[in-house]
């Protein structure tokens, strides 16, 4: 089964699919290590971590695809890419899907915001005409080679045009071939219930710490409301930034190394990134005399 087929099956099963957002290879590895079943690339996290800039269409399609490919290589889980607005019109969207499928992604988000876009939990969003987005979805469907490759059509119409227009767009995108409809910036549980009732296919939402989604909601609550998938786009980037900020403050204040108990263990980091496999490969392929020379200086053996 292809990774795209795995991701599609996870979306279509009765249980909700929880997809934490990865912004680099380490975060993707940690998502897999923690026992999750799929990875969502976070455009905000990737742009913020690599450029230190807001997510306002400043990273090119080829750059985003390259970073997605690295994340794909870092994990055995299916990875949903962030395709932004398709990086242009329907033709750009067609090329974007080709490029991201070549990068190994199992699916892609394509959104109906006006370019340059912005984070779905911020104000000031604009959406393109429904007919233009339908053309983008049709182009995305036509471009994919694996028919299971997930086209996750995102609409930001809720904040701009209200519930009825969001439902109209969701059903139009499904009719154009989208696999799932992603409603960004949902702020009310009653609206979630209406969306899952009135949209004729899988519905996805996201939850953002400090964003619009009600903080009291659990994944079980969302599943009971009929949500197929929930993404957590900034959980890891915010946690990493919080941890780094605290560690730096601690080091600056104390004038010494930080508190190891509050950090990911050094040895575990090396295990996570595959150092044990490096040692095993050395034993398989390097002469024993070279290994003796390599490790005797520090009294170790490979």
Cα gap 50→249, rounded to integer Å:
23
Q: Is residue 19 part of a domain?
A: yes
Q: Per the domain annotation, does 250 fall within a domain? A: no
3-state class of 93 per DSSP? Answer: helix
Question: pLDDT tens-digit profile of 58-83?
Answer: 999 999 999 999 999 999 999 999 99
pLDDT for position 302: 46
Mean pLDDT of all residues in 201-217: 91
d(CA 76, CA 71): 10
Query: What's the average model confidence in pLDDT over 135-154?
Result: 98
Q: 78 lies in a domain? A: yes
Contact 79, 122 (CB under 8 A): no
Q: Is residue 151 part of a domain?
A: yes
Domain that holds residue 49: 3-240
- What pLDDT, on a 0 to 100 scale, did the predictor assign at position 118? 82
- Do 178 and 236 have their domain in common? yes
pLDDT for the residue 300: 52
Would you call the peptide bond into 116 cis, given omega within 30 degrees of 0 as the criterion? yes
User: Do 100 and 45 lie in a common domain?
Assistant: yes
Better-scored residue on pLDDT, 122 or 138: 138
Percent of the chain residues topping a pLDDT of 70: 98
pLDDT of residue 123: 83
Look at residue 255 and tell me if it is in a domain.
Answer: no
**113 and 183 share a domain?**
yes
pLDDT at residue 296, as a whole number: 82
Distance CA 181, CA 1 (A): 23
Residue 298: per-residue pLDDT: 54
Secondary structure (3-state) at 109: strand
* Total domains, the chain: 2
Alpha-carbon torsion (126, 66, 23, 4), positive or negative: positive
Apex 218 CA angle, 164 and 153, nearest 5? 40
Q: Which of 91-95, 170-174, 254-258 has the lowest mean pLDDT?
A: 254-258
- 159: nearest Cα among 134, 117, 123: 123
Query: Does pLDDT of 175 surpass 60?
Result: yes
- Reported as a single tens digit per residue, the pLDDT across 35-44 is 999 999 999 9
64 domain-assigned: yes
Same domain, 193 and 286: no
Are 136 and 271 in a shared domain?
no
Answer whether residue 67 is part of any domain: yes
| pLDDT tens per residue, range 12-25 | 999 999 999 999 99
* 57 pLDDT more than 50: yes
Average pLDDT over residues 106-123: 89
How many CB atoms neighbour CB 50 within 10 A? 14
Would 79 be classed as within a structural domain?
Answer: yes
Gyration radius of the chain over CA positions: 21
pLDDT computed for residue 299 by the predictor: 52
**Same structural domain, 216 and 122:** yes
158 and 202 inside one domain: yes
């Amino acid at each position: 089964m292809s990774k795209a087929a795995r991701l599609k099956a996870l979306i279509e099963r009765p249980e909700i699919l929880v997809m934490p957002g990865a912004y680099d290879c380490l975060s993707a590895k940690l998502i897999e290590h923690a026992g999750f079943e799929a990875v969502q690339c976070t455009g905000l996290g990737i742009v913020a971590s690599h450029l230190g800039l807001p997510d306002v269409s400043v990273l090119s399609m080829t750059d985003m695809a390259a970073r997605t490919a690295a994340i794909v290589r870092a994990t055995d889980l299916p990875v949903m890419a962030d395709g932004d607005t398709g990086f242009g019109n329907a033709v750009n969207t067609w090329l974007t899907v080709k490029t991201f499928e070549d990068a190994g992604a199992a699916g892609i988000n394509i959104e109906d915001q006006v370019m340059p876009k912005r984070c779905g939990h911020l104000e000031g969003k604009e959406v393109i005409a429904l007919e233009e987005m339908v053309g983008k979805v049709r182009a995305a469907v036509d471009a994919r080679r694996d028919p299971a490759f997930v086209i996750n059509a995102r609409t930001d119409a809720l904040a701009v045009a209200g519930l009825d227009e969001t439902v109209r767009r969701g059903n139009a995108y499904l009719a154009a071939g989208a696999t799932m409809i992603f409603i960004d910036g949902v702020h009310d549980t009653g609206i979630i219930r209406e969306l899952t009732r009135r949209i004729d296919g899988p519905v996805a939402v996201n939850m953002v710490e400090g964003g619009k989604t009600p903080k009291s909601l659990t994944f079980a609550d969302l599943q009971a409301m009929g949500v197929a998938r929930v993404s957590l786009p900034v959980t890891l980037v915010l946690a990493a930034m919080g941890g780094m900020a605290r560690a730096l403050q601690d080091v600056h204040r104390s004038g010494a190394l930080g508190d190891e108990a509050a950090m990911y263990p050094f040895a575990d980091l090396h295990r996570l990134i595959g150092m044990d496999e490096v040692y095993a490969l050395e034993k398989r392929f390097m002469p024993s005399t070279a290994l003796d020379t390599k490790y005797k200086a520090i009294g170790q053996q490979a």
